[in-house]
Amino acid sequence: MRRATLILVPYLWLLALFLVPFVIVLKISLSDTALAIPPYTPTLDFGAGWQGIRDFFSQLDLENFWFLSTDDLYWKAYLSSVKIAAIATFLTLLAGYPIAYGMANAPDHWRPTLMLLVILPFWTSFLIRVYSWMGILSGEGYLNQFLMWTGLISQPLTILNTPIAVYIGIVYTYLPFMILPIYAALERMDASLLEAAEDLGCSRFKAFWLITIPLSRNGIIAGCFLVFIPTIGEFVIPSLLGGSRTLMIGKVLWEEFFNNRDWPVASAVAVILLLILIVPIILFQRNEQKQREAEG
């Protein structure tokens, strides 16, 4: 009985926070637009009894999904989002691994402080942090002023409103999600393994490559998924830091919803985005489970 209750709680949670919203979105994706409040039809009318419910279902169709497949804009946007997310994840890994490595090798009494420094940015609103990057990267911004002061450049660099700014924003925002799982994996590593390797004549670099990296693999995989999955649907960073040329599915969804007032097509875009994300989410789950089993 107690076991059943324990299982019930997370499932109820999933039902309320995931399944119900998803069914609503799915329902809207099968509807048609209308100039009304809310701007789609049909809406469920329980007052009309069974007939009303039958009418309601008979009016739903897959037309919007058909429409998505006929316009290459959507495929380009999905592909471009996956590409940007993949590159950004790789860059975050490059930036995050050395930090996690340094933290794991720091003296014990430093670690809580270093951990705090990684988490500290979360105390400020995400939006304000992205806004401050606009101030740093703009033509007359701090970065350009600094570079011109050092004499490295004579003309300000155009960084804001380019894909580079989007990558900077994503790497900055998601860095803690990469650092923490890698740090957790590295911290658990047995340091005597490295000593043994050294005793047996292995160079430090080779030992790192043959021992440290494989042992932190689970942390790397977890970190990559934690960055990759939310980045695909990212909207705020590309719209604030990116130019209009950065095509991401989050922005396309926004335009369908706000500019076209086409909630049904916007919902269809969201449903497909979710289907695309299910693949990496399942892989992530598998990895976590394997890790638990290996430890268990």
Interface residues toward another protein, by CB under 8 A: 33, 35-39, 71, 73, 76, 128, 131, 138-140, 158, 161, 243-245, 247, 252, 255, 257-262
Cα 69 from Cα 278, distance rounded (Å): 20
Q: Looking at beta carbons only, is 76 or 204 nearer to another protein?
A: 76
**Tokens representing 226?**
């934690």
Q: Looking at beta carbons only, is 33 or 291 nearer to another protein?
A: 33
Q: Looking at beta carbons only, is 40 or 228 nearer to another protein?
A: 40
CB of residue 131 vs another protein: minimum separation in angstroms? 7
CB of residue 89 vs another protein: minimum separation in angstroms? 23
CB neighbours of residue 273 within 10 Å: 19
Cα 227 from Cα 16, distance rounded (Å): 25
Q: Looking at beta carbons only, is 52 or 139 nearer to another protein?
A: 139
Cα 100 from Cα 187, distance rounded (Å): 9
Q: Looking at beta carbons only, is 34 or 193 nearer to another protein?
A: 34
CB of residue 127 vs another protein: minimum separation in angstroms? 8
CB of residue 243 vs another protein: minimum separation in angstroms? 5
Cα 246 from Cα 236, distance rounded (Å): 12
What φ, ψ does residue 245 adopt, rounded to 5°? -85, -15
CB of residue 78 vs another protein: minimum separation in angstroms? 13
Q: Looking at beta carbons only, is 67 or 90 nearer to another protein?
A: 67
**Tokens representing 153?**
């450049």
Q: Looking at beta carbons only, is 98 or 121 nearer to another protein?
A: 121
